[in-house]
Chain A
Amino acid sequence: MKARNFRYVRPSSLEQACRILADEGGDAVPVAGGQSLLAGLNMRLSAPKLLVDIGDLKELTGQSYEDGGVRLGALTRHAELLCSELIQKRVPLLARAAAHIGHVAIRNRGTLGGSLAYADPAAELPACAVALGATLILGNLAGQREVKAEDFFTGLFETQLKPGELIVAVKFPAMQPGTSVGFAELSRRHGDFALVGVAAVATVQRDRIGAARLAYFGCVDRAKVARSVSAAVTGLAPPLSDASAFAQAIRQDLTPEDTTGLRADTKLHMATVLTRRALNSLSQRSDP
């Protein structure tokens, strides 16, 4: 199908973009890579009156390493997450996750900020941002404010973004020595939306898991820290041969619903299997 009629504007600065978005309110949506938005427009799932193209705003670009963290501009493309040396070295979870996002052509266009702002509960990057303890920098007419990723996602496709506000950049804490990341995802075909997935960040000392933060996607309504599971896996020594230590915790953290072709029970089972895989895949930095 084709998108309904709308107007299009290409602001030349972040301030101008925020002003337009603030003035137009709910009638306007920002577009960057457009890989989720335009699919939705073509299928007429939404019908905004105005598209504000933020895809060329310099203020939203750039990648840097500062104060023990990696700052990625909102326009960082998924393809860059995969191949950037800085990211592979300092935030390897993002590189691991990006390989699962769509396909090559999608990753060439889709952006980090777009994925977080869209807040699809089946998307990889919101879960990664939460597991990593990232901080989002939001820009508006009054200036900028910072929001922790775990506070940013408020519901199904819902975030703390107010009208007239844009994600400018995301700050990820750099991997510390002794910290490991794990990632596992199940989808019908590679590149499809996840049925169930999990991102894990954990300290590992003498082969035992210390502090851990896990976040699920695909089987949740929003990205959030799975507190019970994160607590339950502390002290475990991967590789794990079974999931008895955290299976109950998964049932506390996740309350999936039956969907077509997939019962809630099945999702919980798959989440259990994937959690074990993710913990067994905990690896330091990006070294094999």
Chain B
Amino acid sequence: MTDLVGEEDVAIEATLNGKPLKRRVKARQHLADFLRQEMELTGTHLGCEHGICGACTVMIDGRTARGCLTLAAQISGKSVDTIEGLTESGKLAQLQSAFIARNAAQCAFCSSGMLLTAYELVASGRTMSRAEIREFISGNMCRCTGYHAIVDAVEAVMAKNEATAEGKA
């Protein structure tokens, strides 16, 4: 009998929160479980595990992705940022204080995913209407806030960034 193709334990080399990562991961393990169980980065939450709720949102090469719809094995050669890394680097600070100022988190289960999606939105540099903001964050479910305060917070950061950009121009 010939050798089986593929492995149940896969070697990966990636960048995690700015630091090099070299590991063997289980083929069947999705990225969110890997982050939580192997790396003890429990800020990435798990809700539905089939791509609907957005709680497990992480950044892969600077773009948001579902941690539950990405295999840990698939991040090899890529750069992954989680809520922990982006908090430590201060990149989320502005959004985080806007969320706190407007009570845009209640139980906060959705907050890490929501903040990362909001970060991608704000980092795009585009100014959006409230309807467009709602559409952009529509892949992240919040069962507490009704989204109003979250949209307020994102809108405030966007307006502030725009004012800063105009000030510089």
Contact = CB atoms under 8 A, between A and B. Distances in A.
B33 interface: yes
Given A38-B70, A51-B27, A7 B4 contact: yes
Given A2-B28, A104-B120, A42 B68 contact: yes
B70 A109 contact: yes
A8 B6 contact: yes
A35 B73 contact: no
Contact of A1 (B49, B73, B136, B139): B49
Contacts of A24: 5
A281 B57 CA distance: 34
A167 B117 CA distance: 31
Interface in A12-66: 20, 23-24, 28, 31, 34-35, 38-39, 41-43, 50-53, 55-56
A20 B96 CA distance: 47
Contacts of B10: 8, 10
Contact of B63 (A4, A28, A108): A108
A13 to B, nearest CB: 15
A22 to B, nearest CB: 11
A3 B73 contact: no
A42 B27 contact: no
B45 interface: no
Nearest to B50: A39
B28 A6 contact: yes
A34 B71 contact: yes
A106 B66 contact: yes
Nearest to B66: A105
Interface string B113-142: 000010010000000000000011011100
Given A1-B49, A34-B74, A105-B64, A39 B69 contact: yes
Contact of B27 (A8, A79, A104, A106): A8
Contacts of A108: 60, 63-65
A38 B74 CA distance: 12
Q: For the complex, would chain B's binding face be called helix, strand, loop or mixed by DSSP majority?
A: mixed
B66 A35 contact: yes
A68 interface: no
A189 to B, nearest CB: 8
Contacts of A55: 74
A56 B77 contact: yes
A102 B135 CA distance: 11
Nearest to B49: A42
A43 B30 CA distance: 13
Contact of A103 (B5, B54, B74, B76): B54
A105 B71 contact: no
A106 B51 CA distance: 8
Contacts of A4: 28
B69 A38 contact: yes
Given A38-B68, A56-B77, A105-B66, A9 B6 contact: yes
A235 interface: no
B38 interface: no
A51 B64 CA distance: 23
Nearest to A5: B28
Contacts of A23: 5
A104 B68 CA distance: 15
A194 to B, nearest CB: 15
B134 to A, nearest CB: 9
B71 A104 contact: no
Contacts of B49: 1-2, 42
B40 interface: no
A234 to B, nearest CB: 35
Contacts of B66: 35, 105-106, 109
Interface of B: 4-8, 10, 27-28, 30, 33, 49-51, 54, 57, 60, 63-66, 68-71, 73-74, 76-77, 117, 120, 135-136, 138-140
Given A23-B5, A31-B74, 9 more contacts: A5-B28, A8-B10, A8-B73, A42-B50, A43-B50, A52-B6, A104-B117, A105-B54, A109-B70
Closest 5 CB pairs of A and B: A103-B139, A7-B6, A9-B6, A8-B27, A39-B50
